Amino acid sequence: MGTHPRGDAKILDNRISQKTLSQWIAENQDSLGSKVKDTFNGNLPFLFKVLSVETPLSIQAHPNKELAEKLHLQAPQHYPDANHKPEMAIALTPFQGLCGFRPVEEIVTFLKTAAGNNMEDIFGELLLQLHQQYPGDIGCFAIYFLNLLTLKPGEAMFLEANVPHAYLKGGEPHFSSEPHCHPCWALFPYLDKGRRRVVKETPKDLAALTSEGSWAQQATAGRDDECI
């Protein structure tokens, strides 16, 4: 839900005269609060949705404002908006995801343990689950390179610009189709996302990723491991 011109949320309540969220906000400026109203010129600066994660989503990273503007100029057909996309995921149920690189020392420890075939102590069950869902996908091993977080309902993780991340799963075993989290982003044309073809990142693009493992130490959610 948001107010971007390419995806302005519609109001279906016939008791409200305005037909879109942007129209309603324009006539109800106090709803934003004085700080947001003054900072963003009376506009809603973010959008959010309700997400159900039954299978892991792809590993991705969102550009900062400077890179977003650059990509938009270079390839507007793939990047139709110049805005950045910092993201926050608020858990509605127990929720698991990857966020940011682990410290190098920890990655090395995982690799040495895996070489000895002792998988029980290093999320072997999770690795097998990922492999069953995506056979032969090298991305399954990302659980050893990225921080693995488990959120309780009401907890959140912040996905800073240029930080690699992925949503893995949410919900209780018998309620997999229920809403699992509220992702919230800076305003951008989300509806265009599904119409863009996947663009393979180049080494130059990948150089923009945040690789500092200590970033994860700022997380406040519950953890499955000792990264924090």
Domains in the chain, CATH or no CATH each: 1-44 (no CATH), 46-102+145-214 (2.60.120.10)
- The predicted-structure confidence for 132-182, as pLDDT tens digits, reads as follows 999 999 889 999 999 998 888 888 888 888 888 899 988 654 445 566 777
CA distances, 196 to each of 50, 76, 189 (Å) = 21, 10, 11
Grade residue 197 by pLDDT with cuts at 50, 70 and 90. Answer: very low
184 closest CA partner among 55, 96, 86: 86
Contact 4, 188 (CB under 8 A): yes
Please say if the pLDDT value at position 190 is more than 80: no
Q: What is the spatial distance between Cα 2 and Cα 63, in angstroms, rounded to a whole number?
A: 20
According to DSSP, residue 31 is labeled G
Mean pLDDT calculated for residue range 11-32: 90
- The predicted-structure confidence for 46-85, as pLDDT tens digits, reads as follows 888 877 888 888 888 888 888 888 888 988 877 777 777 7
Residue 159 CB partners (closer than 8 Å, separation 6+): 62, 86, 87, 88, 89, 99, 165
Burial level of 154, CB count in 10 A (0-12/13-18/19+)? Answer: exposed
Specify the pLDDT at position 41: 87
159 closest CA partner among 57, 92, 62: 62
DSSP string, 42-77: TS--EEE--B--SSPPPPB----HHHHHHHHHH-TT
Specify the pLDDT at position 135: 93
Specify the pLDDT at position 133: 92
Better-predicted residue by pLDDT, 115 or 60: 60
The residues facing 99 across adjacent strands are 165
Specify the pLDDT at position 23: 92
